[in-house]
């Protein structure tokens, strides 16, 4: 019996593999988030390329991409430098994120499909498993994915785009916000409230917790900037 590929499930298609570019970008991004490459550090292309086992051409393309995300500055005569934000810049960006996420939460409660909300619940449950194992980077990536998912559920593309730009710039800052067990536990409690509000489709409750979460994010990171 021959299989009619046109009738086959989408899951039977080619397995997507990350490109070399995506792998390099991901590795360097993780190094910035975890502080291996700290704010203000100059990227030594030769050393980093040797460490990652890649040539300069794909490495430079990756650095340009990370600069477009706001994680690096490309400085004439110095090359790529890890972006350093002032305390005021961080506070301003977190304030705007709070406004964006509050509005996205309201829209998501009204417009999201049940399937979309279940996807956020799945991300949340996976995040909690990493929290239980104290796997900080894996937890953080799912944490960020939850915020992005709520923006997508809002159905407002412009809102999601602006949010994505600011969220990318704040990756390292947001990561250090969970530096202590107390702060980390408080962030997890916020997320428990978020998912409960989303599942209840309670727009004002979700908007309030998202806004408060961003205010607390500033309190968690300001002493570390």
CATH of the domain at 28: 1.10.10.10
Give pLDDT, residue 9. Answer: 37
Residue 11 lies in a domain: no
Q: Do 102 and 207 fall into the same domain?
A: yes
CATH number for position 161: 1.20.120.530
pTM value?
A: 0.80
Q: Do 103 and 177 fall into the same domain?
A: yes
* Per-residue confidence band for 15, with pLDDT thresholds at 50, 70 and 90: low
Rounded Cα distance between 78 and 91, Å, is 28
Q: Do 189 and 104 fall into the same domain?
A: yes
Residues 6 or more apart whose CB falls under 8 angstroms from that of 56 comprise: 45, 46, 49
Q: Do 112 and 31 fall into the same domain?
A: no
Rounded Cα distance between 225 and 120, Å, is 31
Rounded Cα distance between 173 and 219, Å, is 12
Residue 3 lies in a domain: no
159-182 mean pLDDT: 89
Beta bridge mates, 74: 80
For the stretch 89-92, contacts whose Cβ atoms lie closer than 8 Å and that sit 24 or more positions apart, written own/partner, are: 90/170, 90/173, 90/218, 90/221, 90/222, 90/225, 91/218, 91/222
Give pLDDT, residue 137. Answer: 92
Residue 10 lies in a domain: no
Mean pLDDT of the chain: 90
The pLDDT of residue 10 is above 60: no
Give pLDDT, residue 17. Answer: 67
What's the CA dihedral at 79, 85, 89, 91 to 10 degrees? 150
66 near 59, Cβ under 8 Å?
Answer: no
List the domain range (segments joined by +) for residue 42.
20-82
Q: Do 92 and 68 fall into the same domain?
A: no
Rounded Cα distance between 124 and 218, Å, is 22
**Residue among 64, 70, 93 nearest 218 (CA):** 93
Q: Do 101 and 184 fall into the same domain?
A: yes
Domains contained in the chain, number: 2
Tens digit of each residue's pLDDT (9 = 90 or more) over 180-225:
899 899 999 999 999 999 999 999 999 999 999 999 999 888 877 7
Residue 14 lies in a domain: no
11-29 mean pLDDT: 78
Tokens 């785009």 map to which residue?
Answer: 161
Instruction: Give the end of a domain, one of 30, 53, 82.
Output: 82
Instruction: Give the end of a domain, one of 82, 105, 133.
Output: 82
Residue 101 lies in a domain: yes
Q: Do 93 and 201 fall into the same domain?
A: yes
**Residue among 188, 220, 215 nearest 94 (CA):** 215
Rounded Cα distance between 171 and 162, Å, is 15
Instruction: Give the end of a domain, one of 62, 82, 102.
Output: 82
Q: Do 196 and 100 fall into the same domain?
A: yes
Q: Do 117 and 157 fall into the same domain?
A: yes
Q: Do 74 and 104 fall into the same domain?
A: no
The pLDDT of residue 6 is above 50: no
116 near 79, Cβ under 8 Å?
Answer: no
């Amino acid at each position: 019996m021959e299989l009619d590929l046109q009738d086959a499930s989408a899951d039977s298609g080619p397995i997507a593999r990350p490109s070399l570019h995506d792998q390099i970008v991901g590795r360097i991004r993780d190094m910035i988030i975890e502080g291996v490459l700290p704010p203000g550090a100059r990227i030594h292309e030769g050393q980093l390329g040797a460490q990652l086992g890649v040539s300069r051409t794909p490495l430079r393309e990756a650095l340009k991409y990370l600069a477009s995300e706001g994680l690096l500055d490309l400085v004439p005569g110095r090359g790529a430098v890890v972006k350093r934000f002032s305390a005021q810049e961080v506070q301003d960006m977190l304030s705007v994120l709070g406004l964006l996420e509050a509005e996205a939460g309201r829209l998501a409660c009204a417009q999201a499909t049940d399937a979309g909300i279940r996807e956020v619940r799945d991300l949340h449950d996976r995040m909690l498993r990493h929290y239980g194992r104290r796997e900080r980077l894996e937890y953080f990536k799912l944490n960020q994915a939850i915020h992005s998912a709520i923006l997508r559920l809002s159905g407002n593309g412009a809102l999601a785009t602006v949010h994505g730009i600011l969220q990318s710039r704040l990756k390292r800052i947001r990561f250090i916000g969970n530096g202590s067990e107390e702060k980390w536990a408080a962030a997890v409690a916020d997320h428990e409230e978020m998912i409960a509000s989303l599942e209840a489709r309670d727009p004002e409750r979700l908007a309030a917790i998202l806004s408060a979460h961003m205010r607390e994010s500033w309190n968690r990171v300001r002493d570390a900037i």
